[in-house]
Amino acid sequence: MQTLSVALGDRSYPIHVGRGLLERGDLVVPHLTQKRVAVVSNETVAPLYLARFIQALKRGGVEAFSIVIPDGEQFKNWDTLNTIFDQLLTARSDRGTTLIALGGGVVGDITGFAAATYQRGVPYVQVPTTLLAQVDSSVGGKTAVNHPRGKNMIGAFYQPRLVLSDMDTLSTLPDRELKAGLAEVIKYGLIRDAEFFGWLETHIDRLVAKDAEALSRAVVRCCEIKASVVQNDEREEGERALLNFGHTFGHAIETGMGYGAWLHGEAVAAGMAMACDLSARLGLISASDVERISAVLARAGLPTAVRGLSAERFRSLMSVDKKAQAGRLRFILLNGIGSASLRADVPPEELDRTLSRAA
């Protein structure tokens, strides 16, 4: 097991990465306000891991009950959130009850938002079971539900007490879900670590094949980068916005194509390809950089383009992006592999040329 830390003063918390961690209830107990928890999972993950995890908690003297929600991005909404609230209230859960998210990004996001708002805030723990959640969404305290007009538009910054990433859960992850998670892994190399991107170029085939050692290294490095960024900019007032590379385009794809039609990582991959195209059009990166990036995305089995959204529809969807300021769209663009910046000076005609690729 490797342990990292997100240093946020009295709200700091550890990230444990290793194998067999679902059996380690002793790692969870020290972070509970009282020994009563509600484990939120979904209909796919629950049959695989819920009973085993609850038994591990019970061995530590913890009273645990479960809340199982439907699986899919299309269920990250108010109706599902109210289902969680209903079951918490039925179980007479108080402010000392800790919520535990056992699942992927959707489970983590909606459980975190439920924890942030139930009785004005209760503790929660992240136990991510997908690659995307382990490298990205479980760390940093972004919680949300979707709105029909925009992804993650209703939420809160609310930090977990603990992140417990059991690498064994990746063995049951469908290939499509694994590849979607690799999009976020590649993102970290592109925005922050050129050496890590080079390592990904060499090892992407091992990652696709679920090589345990390669996956562990990737998860740890991504968590190191994200923890460093979150510590410096918890509420996304500056540097943390760079973690959204590809997401302005990607969120528009998810919303425009219908929640659940594209996995988040698939949309981010296509969004990163579009952001790279725009970066090259502005002379920030070279054509050879674009070729390298496209090659890695393709070897990971990820899409680099989208069809079926007009440029007009893209602009409409992006207009509600959370990074928009005073009505102006802002984009995270690459200055080179391993370096990114937030730009609000994108010429409309260059954006149109990039958007025309999706028409």
* Active site residue ranges: 120, 142, 184, 226, 236, 240, 244, 247, 251, 264
- Please give the Cα distance from 178 to 132 (Å, whole number): 8
Alpha helices (H) in 32-174, listed in sequence order: 51-59, 78-90, 105-117, 131-132
Return the amino acid letter for 10: D
Cα-based distances in Å from 85 to 89, 96, 99, 114, 321: 6, 15, 11, 7, 28
Tell me which residue has tokens 């469908």: 174
Other C-beta atoms lying within 10 Å of the C-beta of residue 238: 11
- Please give the Cα distance from 178 to 182 (Å, whole number): 6
- Please give the Cα distance from 188 to 352 (Å, whole number): 27
Buried b (16+ CB within 10 A) or exposed e, 182-215: bbbbbbbbbbbbeebbebbbebbeebbeeeeebb
